[in-house]
Amino acid sequence: MGWTFIQRNKGITNLEVFTAEFWVGRIVGIATPSPHETYVAYKRDDGLVMGVVLLTRYNPRSTFNFGWKDMDEGMGPYAYNCPRRILALLSPVELLYPDSPWAQENATTWRTICRERRTR
């Protein structure tokens, strides 16, 4: 649950970085509303789409100049700037976390706060 850092060359997009790193499923939507937050709609192998929050850091003076911390919506991330177009792609929380009421509650709360912030 820590940070991952890589060497990222100029001209490489967040989509390219995270597509290479998240190799099991596939990204069906991505948004970077700030330099420190990226939101992904991630299609799992079972066909369900979950929300992933990536807190990001960039340090051009370091060899490993780009880093991220990834959290899925069921973990209750404290970043709530996910655009509506990403939220619209997500599967129902009951299907994503059928055996975890805790994760269902976290994901529902996260989605609700994101939607509320987008209406202000």
Q: Which residues contact 39 (CB under 8 A, 6 or more apart)?
A: 30, 31, 32, 33, 51, 52, 53, 54, 81, 82, 83, 86
Phi, psi of 58 (to 5 degrees): -130, 130
The confidence band for 1, taking pLDDT boundaries of 50, 70 and 90, is: low
Q: How far is CA 43 from the centre of its chain?
A: 11
Q: Which two tokens stand for residue 74?
A: 């069921």
pTM of the model: 0.91
pLDDT digits (tens, 9 = 90+) for 50-95: 999 999 999 988 999 999 999 999 999 999 999 999 999 999 999 9
